[in-house]
Chains A and B, each alone.
Chain A
Amino acid sequence: MMAMMEPAPAVTVENLTKVFPLPLRREKVVAVRDLSLTVAAGEVYGLIGPNGSGKSTTMKVILGLIKPTRGRTAIFGKDSREVDSRQDVGFLPENPYFYKYLSGEETLAFYGRLCGLSGKALRDRIQELLELVDLTHARDRRLGGYSKGMLQRIGLAQALVQSPRLVVLDEPTAGVDPAGSRKIRDLIFELKERGISVILSSHLLEQVQEVCDRVGIIFKGDLVREGRLEDLIAIEDQTEIILEGASPELIEKIRALAAEEAGKSGTKLVSLGRPRTTLERLFLQETKGETKDEPEKR
């Protein structure tokens, strides 16, 4: 059914270079250098790299907020410089502040109107989004009284208001506590299930690891590595065995077996002990039931 026509990739970046001139000086700053990448429709793509590596610049060019010095970017085949291309994209900037005198509902109504929604369609969509980001209870509260996590979620709802096929998230969990962060992660999974393409930037590798199909690593304006997540992080020659309820004797047996093999084939026991839960998981486990905002989804 989909074979009739090859769908345009969600994002195309071709040989993008962005140079910022420094005011009153001769030197220039190269933020992004000859970068190319493609995000397929329905894919979750993670851009990772340290602060100031060019992640935000790349996203801004994709969104048409700044113009490329060289190269081009497109969203579903439409050049980013055209207003039209924004029809299919939603954006959540890093640490967004919306009009704090508006309520959550008014905020979504505003962005909906900008996208040409109105009347019942708009009201239904707002209701749907408030439910999605779990803010129905705060719909009439002004954003000035929202917590950071709630702001991030209303920001995500705002990005989704016109049902775009692509969502761009810049550091979506920056400054958000683990519960909020997890909630946002869940939302990203939900988007993926609905077939919405996502491109997100982060310097939190763990988070990227959890949700992304593919990642690109940017360093000093260059795309240094790119590929499928499993391919990038799998360590080919290691195997992990996790046992539950194993007796000390069994463990001792395995250790001995490994030591025995070591002499023949070069096998080496790298580590043995209790698997550590991630700090994030531990925190969530311990605070379960206390954070009211935490949905029991996954």
Chain B
Amino acid sequence: MTEAQASPSRTHAIFSPTRIWALARVTFTQLVRMKVFYFMLIFCAVVIGATFIFLEYSFEEELKLIKDVSLGAMQLFATIFAIVGTALLLPRDLEDRTLYTILCKPVPRLEYLLGKLLGVLLLIAISLVLMDVLFTAVLFAKQSAIAARTEEALALKGASELEIARTLEIIAKQGVTWNLLNGVAAIFMKSCVAAAVALMVSTFASSTLFTIIVSFVVYFVGHIQALARDFWLGGMITDTVERLIAVVVSLLFPDFQLFNIVDGVVAGEPVPLLTMAKLAGLTLVYLAVYNFAAFFVFADKEL
């Protein structure tokens, strides 16, 4: 019997997490083998470099600097990965005709998009975890050094036990805390939305460069979207053109500012669990809507 007759008509799942996972894994592997993880070397240099800055007047400032520099670098890398990484995916697959071979398999276009996005998000998540581990270790080392130094100085000055304990407690509060993870989580959420924006743009963009530029513009305008919204809703503008701009910006651009809780976190403000949950929920809604829009355009795309 020949093979053709032997192969039965297979059943086809309309939506298959296995296929999405296969796409995500390949995207992730591809990015990893492009040696993107070399960025970790830069990150190490920056974070460890920050520990060598000593300020005679304030250990608070020394710890804050490590937190600022590390979280800032995390945000920078996450954003770049999210936008550039995602923007490269679709056009490259199209140029290399790899997209043809994938879509000629029984893979719905939505799954293709989801798989690609998931691959990038996986890369960002793993990068952030690695960076966070390093950052936490460095911060803890610095904090311990400061605690030892301060304890010695206070003991020399003849400070009371209570005073020393109290000061150490305050140093600990400025050092490694669970709250810092909230900041890292918010950075991840923000990059998820940024990646979804880039994916959406790339479905109708004609070039990678266009996607990257448009996505970065959306990213920056997204940071002042709240401003436009306040102007509009607050009725602060009377000029028709300005008002129109405010309305367009408010409606079309995502509010990236909402995810900027890092500054507060560094300053030691606790983030309530409910707030984190709300931000996570918002991220999911953004992902859903943007992916839907991306699919809507991509489904009809002539390849």
Residues of A within 8 A of B (CB): 20, 41-42, 60, 63-67, 83-84, 86-99, 101-102, 106, 110-111, 113-116, 118, 142, 155, 158-159, 162-165, 168, 194-197
Contact = CB atoms under 8 A, between A and B. Distances in A.
A41 B4 contact: yes
Contacts, number: 120
A110 B26 contact: yes
Contacts of A110: 22, 25-26
A194 B18 contact: no
A46 B18 CA distance: 36
A190 to B, nearest CB: 10
Residue with the highest number of chain A CB atoms closer than 10 Å, among B22, B23, B102, B105: B105
Interface of A is mostly: loop
Contact of B97 (A64, A95, A168, A197): A95
Nearest to A111: B105
B157 interface: no
Given A115-B106, A116-B19, 12 more contacts: A42-B2, A66-B302, A90-B104, A96-B96, A96-B98, A99-B98, A106-B26, A114-B105, A114-B106, A115-B105, A116-B106, A159-B104
B101 A84 contact: no
Contacts of A163: 3, 7
7 contacts: A63-B104, A65-B104, A93-B100, A98-B98, A101-B33, A110-B26, A159-B104
Contacts of B101: 91-93, 96, 98, 111, 155, 158-159
Contact of B26 (A64, A99, A142): A99
A40 B156 CA distance: 96
Interface string B24-43: 01100110011000000000
B26 to A, nearest CB: 5
B293 interface: no
B97 A195 contact: no
Interface of B: 2-5, 7, 9-10, 12-13, 16, 18-19, 22-23, 25-26, 29-30, 33-34, 96-98, 100-108, 300, 302-303
A87 B7 CA distance: 11
Contact of B12 (A83, A91, A92, A196): A83
B195 to A, nearest CB: 19
Contacts of B96: 96-98
B100 A91 contact: yes
B10 A116 contact: yes
Contacts of B23: 114
A297 to B, nearest CB: 18
B105 A86 contact: yes
A183 to B, nearest CB: 20
A120 B58 CA distance: 62
